[in-house]
Structure 1
């Protein structure tokens, strides 16, 4: 007996990859923005503020979404 009623199709797998791409972009943006914000505030002698790092992460993520889906889109 099969565990799945239907076998996964290419469309279903492409949809899952599409969702994971956005999730991983957000995770990496938060990590990179936190590191950049921490280094820059440490160099300036200011306290590290998580809210500022999250704003920078949002800017990074939006930039990555625009570049990935719009500007760098390959034509098939």
Structure 2
């Protein structure tokens, strides 16, 4: 999941759907990859597991086009 953050601060309701930018359908796989085109801004990425209340380690990589970040 990716949420847009207004003014660089997390609002108390940041998990509210009005801030939700992208959400993928859950798949029971070891690895997944997604490509998004997002407007410039600050975002929160929320890694999660397939099963509720399950803890796991995550490796997150983000790539940006040159000149597309600030």
Measured against the shorter chain, the TM-score band is: under 0.3
The normalised TM-score by structure 1 is 0.24
Query: What's the TM-score once normalised by structure 2's chain length?
Result: 0.25
Higher helix share: 1
Normalized per residue, which structure has more strand? 2
